[in-house]
Each structure stands twice: as C-alpha cells, then as structure tokens.
Amino acid sequence: MLAVVGGKGGCGKTTTTACLARALAAEGAAPVAVDADRDMPDLHLVAGAPAEPGLGRLASGGLRAATHRASELPGVRVVPAGDGSDADLTDAARRLRSLDGPVLLDAPAGASPDAAVPLRVADRALVVTTPSRESLEDAAKSAAMAETLDAPAVGSVVVRSDGAVDPAPLLDCPTLGHVPAASDPLSAAGVERAYDRVVTRFRRNI
C-alpha cells in the first residue's frame, strides 16, 4: 500500500495518484486509488467517479459498493473519501489489503496529524513536489514524517519540471521521474509517458 504525499496543497499529489494508477492499469495490474484527503477530497473529480459511497461504506464491509469505476482512468477502481473518518480509513485499509493489485492512497498535504493517518496504514510513500524551493522544503518534511511512521519513501516525482532540479539529496530517496507541465495532465501524451517511466523505476525500487 503506497501513500502519495506532498508538502503543499496543489503540488500534484492527486494528479500523480491518478496518473500512476492509470499507468499501473496499462501494465495489467488492478490498481485501487483511494482518496484519503477528507478535508479536500477531489480524486473522484479527477478520475470521473462518484463522490459516494466512500471510505465509510468500505470500512463497514461494503467493498463492492465503495470501489467505483473511473471514466477517466480505464482499469482503475476509485474509493472516494465520502464522509469517512480517520477510523474508517484505518478499517478500510485492512479490507483493501485483501484486494489483488496495488493500492494508492492520495494523502492530505503537509505534515499534519491528518497527513499522518494514511502513512500509518501504508507500507511505503511516494513524495510529490514541484521544483520550487518552498515545495521541496515542505516535501522534505513529508519524507521525514513517512520515515518516522515506518512508511519510508520509495522515491519522489517532480511535477511541472524540466528536469533541472534533482531533489534526491534533500529528500534522501531516488528521483523516479520528472513530469512536464501541462494544462490538462490526464490528456497530455508527455505526461502519460513520464508516468510510464515512473512506474518502471518504481518497480525497481520496491
């Protein structure tokens, strides 16, 4: 189970969760993308999935009802945050472990207690950042928190990046890819190719 984390809102976590899940599905996996950001839930909007039912239904045993097909992400199942609580996410994680295929958790931004919840149930973390100094510094805090909570970072993805900045020394994990800027990332061929490369490097590091 992989938590997709980042230090700032708008750093590209949700888009990375969606695009990474799509790339995994294209390889033949059966990924599940879970919106663990209860305060700012938008994974369902990006994916083209219903907003309900979500984590609460999944926690109570409604696995089939809470996992939705995503019109924008072929082959990906999405669990929206819905009205779920921290306890629901913890209970839902136990059920998600019974599924075939990778599970991606779109975590809240920052290093707050809310951001810690998905890291407590995840096995590893993927750190998302932009090349800006502020974003990189905040991403380093997310990476450190992931390490503390026994979900060490498998690597990082730098979005809206031309590849000029390598955050590996700061984040203390390999850089899995640089994703170019795009006005509509889900439809941009360059973005899709970048996440395909991220998946290849990701598999080498797990």
Structural domain boundaries in the chain: 2-205
Please, where are the H alpha helices in 97-188? 113-121, 133-148, 168-171
- Residue where the block lists tokens 């097909």: 69
pLDDT at 37 over 80: yes
Domain over 2-205 is classified CATH 3.40.50.300: yes
Q: Phi/psi of residue 119, each to 5°?
A: -65, -30
Buried b (16+ CB within 10 A) or exposed e, 120-145: ebbebbbbbbbbeeebbebbbebbeb
* % of the chain residues with pLDDT over 70: 99
Q: Percent of the chain having pLDDT more than 90?
A: 77
Strand 77-79, strand 32-35: pairing: parallel
Whole-number pLDDT of residue 205:
66
Q: Is the pLDDT of residue 134 over 90?
A: yes
Dihedral of CA 31/145/148/195: which sign?
A: positive
This prediction's pTM: 0.95
Predicted pLDDT of residue 123: 95
| Predicted pLDDT of residue 6 | 93
> Sorting pLDDT into bands at 50, 70 and 90, what band is 206?
low
Q: Which two three-digit tokens encode residue 66?
A: 């809470």
Instruction: Report the alpha-carbon distance of residue 180 to residue 165 in Å, rounded.
Output: 13
Joined together, the tokens standing for residue 126 give 């993927």
Quick check: 8 and 142 in contact, CB under 8 A? no
